[in-house]
Amino acid sequence: MDDQGIAYWKATTGLIRNVLIVWFIVSYGFGIILGPALNSFSLAGYPLGFWFAQQGSIYCFVAMIFIYAKLMGNIDKKFDVHED
C-alpha cells in the first residue's frame, strides 16, 4: 500500500472512530449515565434523559448516517477514489 492509500485508510478510520464516539456519547452517555441528571429538564413534557434514551438517540443516529455519508464522500473526493 502506498502513502496515498495509508492516508486514505487513516482518514477513513478516523471518521469511523469519531462517529462511534458520538454514537457512544448519545446512546450510552445521555441515555444511561447522564439520564438521571438530564431528567431534571423536560422536552415536550418528557424528562430529557428519557427522551434521549427513547427518541433523541434515534434522531441523532439518522442524522449521523447522513453526516457520515457526506464526510465519507468528501474523503473519497480528496483522495480521488469517488464514484462519478
> What does the pLDDT profile of the chain (84 residues) look like in tens digits?
799 999 999 999 999 999 999 999 988 898 889 989 999 999 888 898 888 888 888 999 999 999 999 999 999 999 999 887
In a domain, 67, yes or no: yes
What pLDDT is recorded for position 10? 97
Read out DSSP for 33-80? ISHHHHTTSEETTEEHHHHIIIIIHHHHHHHHHHHHHHHHHHHHHHTT
pTM: predicted TM-score of the whole model, two decimal places:
0.82
In a domain, 51, yes or no: yes
In a domain, 84, yes or no: no
In a domain, 28, yes or no: yes
Look at the chain and report how many structural domains it folds into.
1
Give residue 57's domain range: 3-78
Distance separating alpha carbons of residues 31 and 28, to the nearest angstrom? 5
∠ Cα 12 28 45 (to 5°)? 120
In a domain, 57, yes or no: yes
In a domain, 22, yes or no: yes
